[in-house]
Amino acid sequence: MRPTSALPSRVEALILSSLLLSPLALGKATQDRRYHSGHLHRRSNILDGGSPIAASYDYVIAGGGQAGLVLAARLSEDPSTSVLVLEAGRSGDAVYEQMSHPGNTYYDSLTRTEYDYAYSTTPQAGADGRKIPWPRGKVLGGSSAINGLYYINPTKRDLDTWKGLIDGGNEEESRGSEYWGWDSFYEALKKSQGFVPPTEAIRTQAGIDYNAESFGSGGNVQLSYPGYTFDVVGDWVPTMSNIGIPENADAYGGDHHGAFVATSNINPTNWTRSFARPAYIDNTAPRQNLDILPGATVTRLVFDSTTSAGNLTATGVEYATSAGGSRQMVTVNREVIMAGGVIGSPQMLMLSGVGPRDVLEAAGVEVLLELPGVGAHLQDHLAAGVAYDTDSDTAQTIISSGSDLSSSAIFLSFVNSATAYIRLTDLLGDYAPTFASNARAALSSAVSALDTSSAEVRTGYERLYNTIVDQLYDGGESQVEMLLTMAVPGKIIVQAALQHPLSMGRVTLNSASAFDAPSIDPNYLQQEADIILLREGLKLARKAATTAPLSNVLKTEAWPGSRVETDAEWDDWLKGQIATEYHPSGTCAMLPRTEGGVVNARLQVYGLSNVRVADASVFPLSLTTHLGAPVYGLAEQASTLIQAYYNADEEPPAPEGNNEGSIDGDAGAGGENSPSPSNGAVTNPEGVATRSAVTFGSLALAALSSLLLL
């Protein structure tokens, strides 16, 4: 059977209401400049280098990635508030079409370009001393603009475990925890989702099964399936069933154990990537109370000097367009919301004087608030794969052919999506209880080996370790993800990815400059349990590849091959092969402060009266999923809880240790800063407006790591 393509199942017309064209909505002076031909809402709230901003805003969002743009759209729904987003990366206009084709994540990737931070880890002892590349999106939309488009809900057990971790704190720390349990978070996920079923042809060939009631249908983010697929995708679920892994026909309802074909962030009306910018910004009517400034790197938060540690109030955010450029200031009336991601948010806090004392002092940063959990508890999914030669078409062989098909939008909608989540008993059988017992026995040595001088961080690590073993190992949560990828010419790869590492690391500073990358040490494979689980996952991947019907397509094993058979050979080989699955979390963890936590259940940073963090850095435990879905859910929940406080005419409850939750809106002197000559942006000279009347002007990675950004 030939690969199947399909036309969009429905076409939705984009309708502009008369409101969008009225002087009330646009302002006469700017009306004609807010639209770009062909993209009616494109850049409607996105400033260029010559556009002015106001002296102050109610909310300043530090980071215009996935979470930041959701927050910007939701908080600016209230026309009486003002919102500014500061994003270090570019707008993405110059590469918008390139980003929009889903398949370009493999064939024309923006990794290792100016749209990628292109981080690397420190040398990893558990990875043969290698520095592992860590791409992260440096563009409006963040990593949602360059990732692999997988969209998989977290599980009920994941979320209820998260809620339980913050419920272990005192009343002030845990108040609001209901936002993070399954029942509430699931509704936030649905709110963000615009699910569109596959066509019948694609559904049949790829073997797709799903429960439509487990999805939302009216949300901003489009979820669907590619318009082009291959027979081998349809072989996935039957093969997994033949090795004892059941099909999951309702993988989005709270338990995704088993095999299924995942949804992707694809808009089937035109087969384009649905990411945070088009979903929440480009398709939003122009708003005079929302400004988004690309090319603006946050250098630090500025605090009221009359407030003390434990009650520090942010009065402004300092930013610059380059390392040598002048520093500019914008005043904050209500809150700063950190949305810089797992690397950016802890780095910004530390550069502002909030973090572990030893790290700040070593970098030459004045310590304003000692908060040892900032940058700690870093967790990441890591993966390796078994590759097989094939004489069947793969996505990469078609793209390499240069045919008309290879450049068509419908073909370029194909992305890898066949997956399976594997429990401990699937991997280890009767040995599973002994394995868990051995992991418990290793706790003391694991805590002793942790690279920290903080007793709080050690206490938190111990709790996270015990939670993984006692609740996720023993509770039946999946521990390994398996995936099918066809991004290498003439090869099909079956991957295994560890979901809940017991090895945890940290992010620290290399210097006092926001323009220098921080130090990233995920501490890969330092716990034997992690090595065993990944090894057994790879063994299961080999078993799947040699089981029908998949074995009818996968021929000779290309790597690792017959030289790897024993456990010792597997362990030695995988240390030279592991790569990130691009799912880091935990560096501003929602945990009690005594456990190295950084934020409370309301996302407020401990000891700061008006600063929150809202991105994947607050996840206290690595989730059993790709991070796109939970980050959208988190941002929706964050928006809801912030709006709830202010709509009720209440100030946010003060973090533990604060005397009050009031915010000094008079502090700071943002209006007096000189404009940066590198971007020409100016601050409102009157220094009085709280909202702006904006005017607008016009290597791929290694084969193994090419598939899974988020």
CATH code: domain of residue 179? 3.50.50.60
pLDDT digits (tens, 9 = 90+) for 237-278: 999 999 999 999 999 999 999 999 999 999 999 999 999 999
Q: In 3D, which of 202, 191, 207, 204 has the Cα closest to residue 225?
A: 202
Res 5: pLDDT: 44
SS3 276: helix
Model confidence band, residue 285 (pLDDT cutoffs 50, 70, 90): confident
Answer yes or no: 377 catalytic.
no
CA distance 529 to 531: 5
Q: Residue 705 pLDDT > 50, yes or no?
A: no
pLDDT digits (tens, 9 = 90+) for 605-644: 999 999 999 999 999 999 999 999 999 999 999 999 999 9
Q: In 3D, which of 528, 622, 487 has the Cα closest to residue 159?
A: 622
DSSP string over 389-432: E-SS--HHHHHHHT-TGGGSTTGGG----EEEEEEHHHHHGGGH
The total number of structural domains in the chain stands at 1
Res 284: pLDDT: 85
Q: Is residue 661 part of a domain?
A: no
Q: What angle do CA 493, 708, 277 make, to 5 degrees?
A: 150
CA atoms within 13 A on the CB side of 665: 14
CA distance 488 to 402: 15
Q: In 3D, which of 594, 130, 32 has the Cα closest to residue 382?
A: 130
Q: Is residue 183 part of a domain?
A: yes
Average pLDDT (532-555) is 98
SS3 528: helix
Helix residue spans in 53-199 (DSSP H): 66-75, 96-100, 104-107, 156-167, 171-174, 182-192
Q: Tokens at residue 593, please?
A: 């402060």
Average pLDDT (473-495) is 95
CA distance 625 to 152: 6
Q: What is the mean pLDDT of the chain?
A: 88
CA distance 165 to 174: 9
Res 309: pLDDT: 79
CA distances from 317 to 313, 314, 508 (A): 12, 8, 21
Strand partners, 369: 354
Q: Is residue 221 part of a domain?
A: yes
Q: Residue 13 pLDDT > 70, yes or no?
A: no
Share of the chain above pLDDT 90, in %: 82
Res 187: pLDDT: 98
| Kind plus residue range of the DSSP H or E element containing 2 | none
Q: Is residue 207 part of a domain?
A: yes
CA dihedral defined by 92, 93, 95, 100, rounded to 10 degrees?
90
Q: What angle do CA 638, 66, 133 make, to 5 degrees?
A: 125
CA distance 135 to 486: 20
| Kind plus residue range of the DSSP H or E element containing 478 | strand 478-488
Q: Which residue has the tokens 């993966």?
A: 383
Model confidence band, residue 488 (pLDDT cutoffs 50, 70, 90): confident
The residue from 41, 101, 377, 626 that is catalytic is: 626
Q: Is residue 432 part of a domain?
A: yes
Dihedral sign computed on CA atoms, order 149, 155, 161, 167: positive
Under a CB-based contact definition with an 8 Å cutoff, are residues 60 and 333 in contact?
no
Res 346: pLDDT: 99
Q: Is residue 683 part of a domain?
A: no
Q: In 3D, which of 340, 448, 444, 286 has the Cα closest to residue 88?
A: 340
Strand bridging mode 56-62 / 478-488: unpaired
Res 43: pLDDT: 52
| 139 marked ligand binding residue | yes
Of 216 and 307, which is predicted with more confidence? 216
Q: Is residue 282 part of a domain?
A: yes
When mean pLDDT is compared across 5-19, 284-298, 555-569, the lowest value belongs to: 5-19
Average pLDDT (478-501) is 96
Q: Tokens at residue 266, please?
A: 């694809």
Share of the chain above pLDDT 70, in %: 85
| 298 marked ligand binding residue | yes
CA atoms within 13 A on the CB side of 448: 4
Q: Residue 675 pLDDT > 60, yes or no?
A: no
Average pLDDT (398-410) is 95
CA distance 480 to 297: 37
- Chain mean position to CA 413: 21
Q: Which residue has the tokens 């590849």?
A: 545
Q: What angle do CA 125, 129, 131 make, to 5 degrees?
A: 110
Res 710: pLDDT: 52
| Kind plus residue range of the DSSP H or E element containing 263 | strand 263-264
Q: In 3D, which of 613, 611, 614, 621 has the Cα closest to residue 586?
A: 621
Q: Is residue 25 part of a domain?
A: no
E-strand stretches of 46-124? 56-62, 83-86, 119-120
Under a CB-based contact definition with an 8 Å cutoff, are residues 32 and 277 in contact?
no
**Domain range for 356:** 56-647
Q: Tokens at residue 654, please?
A: 């003060």
Q: Residue 690 pLDDT > 70, yes or no?
A: no
pLDDT digits (tens, 9 = 90+) for 125-134: 999 999 999 9
CA distance 430 to 423: 12
Answer yes or no: 101 catalytic.
no
Average pLDDT (270-289) is 95
Under a CB-based contact definition with an 8 Å cutoff, are residues 388 and 492 in contact?
yes
| Kind plus residue range of the DSSP H or E element containing 238 | helix 231-242
